Amino acid sequence: DTGVSQNPRHKITKRGQNVTFRCDPISEHNRLYWYRQTLGQGPEFLTYFQNEAQLEKSRLLSDRFSAERPKGSFSTLEIQRTEQGDSAMYLCASSFVAGSFYEQYFGPGTRLTVT
Amino acid sequence: QKEVEQNSGPLSVPEGAIASLNCTYSDRGSQSFFWYRQYSGKSPELIMFIYSNGDKEDGRFTAQLNKASQYVSLLIRDSQPSDSATYLCAVKTSYDKVIFGPGTSLSVIP
């Protein structure tokens, strides 16, 4: 399977705990994106990487969120001191950006529940 | 004004009919446009992309783009119950970001 993979698929945590999610993009893709999606809404942009460089981070993202993509391969998204409002589906997508081609392919997502 | 807007639905069509989904966007410099299908509890799946004005057909799906009107649509011919899902419109803006609309829920009634 050469699609985008994410782990874990589900995470239940208590408020105040730290959580980390992993995303493995499609191998030849040079961009990796993180989104958050809540019920009834479209995916909300969090951050993205071009190879290993983090090019943009949403202003909606608090300092409790951090993402890395060491060596331009897999990426991790960490949420520190989780809050109930962090409960959502966290989606990772990757794309090969060349010229105007920007098709993004999503992984299965990690559903986070903060109790 | 939201950057990408869609009718929230739900849109209900009988099996075999044409489903028409609409999307408008605010950034006139937007260049690339995408339609994703999302089943309940699943992640979005790319089904169509269109970069030039006009129509693009792929099987039962047709994407239509009118940049002057800042409008993009998705037509689903011969709708099937398996097409029941939420359809997300996504737009690559002039400032190099892909923005998603809130989605339109489609229900195909057998």
pLDDT confidence of residue B1: 66
Task: Write out residues 56-95 of B within 8 Å (CB-CB) of A.
Answer: 88, 90, 92
User: Quick one: pLDDT band at residue A46, thresholds 50, 70, 90?
Assistant: very high
Average pLDDT, chain A: 92
Contact between chains at A103 and B99 (C-beta distance less than 8 A): no
Predicted confidence (pLDDT) at residue A100 exceeds the cutoff of 70: no
Share of chain B above pLDDT 90, in %: 89
Helix and strand numbers, DSSP H then E, in chain A: 0, 11
Predicted confidence (pLDDT) at residue A103 exceeds the cutoff of 70: yes
pLDDT confidence of residue A1: 54
Predicted confidence (pLDDT) at residue B16 exceeds the cutoff of 80: yes
pLDDT confidence of residue B96: 80
Instruction: Suggest the residue from B43, B48, B58, B89 to mutate for an interface test with chain A (most A CBs closer than 10 A).
Output: B43
pLDDT digits (tens, 9 = 90+) for B25-53: 999 999 899 999 999 999 999 999 999 99
Q: Collapsing DSSP states into helix, strand and coil, what is residue A86? A: helix
The residue that leads in pLDDT, B96 or B101, is B101
**C-alpha to C-alpha distance for A54 and A74, rounded to whole angstroms:** 13
pLDDT confidence of residue A59: 84
A15, two tokens: 């408020």
Average pLDDT, chain B: 95
Distance from CA of A13 to the nearest CA of B (A): 19
B62, two tokens: 């047709």
pLDDT digits (tens, 9 = 90+) for B48-85: 999 999 999 999 999 999 999 999 999 999 999 999 99
A107, two tokens: 């992984």
A101 at the B interface (CB within 8 A)? Answer: yes
Task: Write out residues 20-39 of B within 8 Å (CB-CB) of A.
Answer: 31-32, 34, 36
Mean pLDDT for B10-20 is: 97
**C-alpha to C-alpha distance for A106 and B46, rounded to whole angstroms:** 8
User: Quick one: pLDDT band at residue A37, thresholds 50, 70, 90?
Assistant: very high
Beta bridge partners of A18: none
Contact between chains at A91 and B43 (C-beta distance less than 8 A): yes
Predicted confidence (pLDDT) at residue B2 exceeds the cutoff of 80: no
Q: Please state which of the ranges A31-35, A100-104, B20-24 shows the lowest mean pLDDT.
A: A100-104
Mean pLDDT for A87-109 is: 89
Show residues of chain B in contact with A89, CB under 8 Å. Answer: 43
Check if the beta carbon of residue A47 is closer than 8 Å to that of residue A67: yes
Mean pLDDT for A63-87 is: 94
B54, two tokens: 């006009």
A96 at the B interface (CB within 8 A)? Answer: no
pLDDT confidence of residue B7: 87
Predicted confidence (pLDDT) at residue B103 exceeds the cutoff of 90: yes
Q: Select from A56, A100, A105 the Cβ nearest to the Cβ of B32.
A: A100
Q: How many CB atoms lie within 10 A of CB A37?
A: 22
A101, two tokens: 């081609």
Contact between chains at A106 and B97 (C-beta distance less than 8 A): no
